[in-house]
Amino acid sequence: MTLVLRPLPWPLPQSPNPWRCWSLLDWDDPPLLVLLDRRDPATARQASLLAPLLSLAEHQRLQQLRRPDDRDRFLLGRGALRHCLGVLLDCDPAQLLLDVGPHGKPALRRGIGAGAAAVPQFNVAHAGDCILLALHPRRAVGVDVEQQRPGLNWPAIAARMMPDTWQTSLRPLSGTVQAEACLQAWCQLEAQLKARGWGLAGRGAAGGTHGSGPCWSIALPAGYAGAAALA
């Protein structure tokens, strides 16, 4: 992952137009990324504006979440996603219909909005105070963000969850360097699996069934790592 992607900050700027490059994205181009940082007061103020965009089912799911942080992340992530899709399709974001795949990946139902043959692909991830949206006009996309947590036994996690070739490249490292490299590799694995609509439970990652499409690291605030991938 040589290219590091820099996400657009939320709220999206009015000028220059953040969507100006959308129609120019080609098959192998990186996805458009949007970062919501809950520590930003401007992002926090968006919650009341985004809440009306959620569907009845999403509001019900929101109420089922027990922890305030989980409710906040879901509201901001799903509301911002609907806003972005509404802009791209030139339609009411509250009227968009989202389906859920067998492993929980949401997708836009076909036939919604103008140009229904070209349905935007997207994915959402969150950790701590960071929420990431990834959107692509032509290709299935996956995104992951993780918060650094000192003290995790990364060698054991790598041995259990990551492909053998990845373990080989991580094993010579040590200390903080190894922890950071393992976290970035974990984000890459998650993003590739999510791009293909898989969950970790059904990945078969150790057997080499992780994604083979392009993958990029993401520039994020200190203490976070992230990756985006295309299937």
The structural domains of the chain, ordered by start, are 7-139 (3.90.470.20), 147-230 (no CATH)
SS3 229: strand
Q: What average pLDDT does range 84-104 have in this prediction?
A: 91
pLDDT class of 207 with cuts at 50, 70, 90: very low
Q: What is the mean pLDDT of the chain?
A: 88
Q: What is the predicted pLDDT for the residue at 130?
A: 98
Contact (Cβ atoms closer than 8 angstroms) between residue 91 and residue 111: no
Q: In what order do the strands lie in the sheet with 130-136?
A: 8-9, 32-37, 130-136, 121-127
Q: What average pLDDT does range 28-34 have in this prediction?
A: 96
Q: Please report where in the chains the tokens 């103008």 appear, as a residue.
A: 114
Contact (Cβ atoms closer than 8 angstroms) between residue 197 and residue 103: yes
What is the enclosing helix (H) or strand (E) of 23?
none
pLDDT class of 186 with cuts at 50, 70, 90: very high
pTM, 2 dp: 0.89
| Sequence-ordered alpha helix ranges (H) in 12-163 | 41-44, 47-50, 56-64, 68-89, 154-161
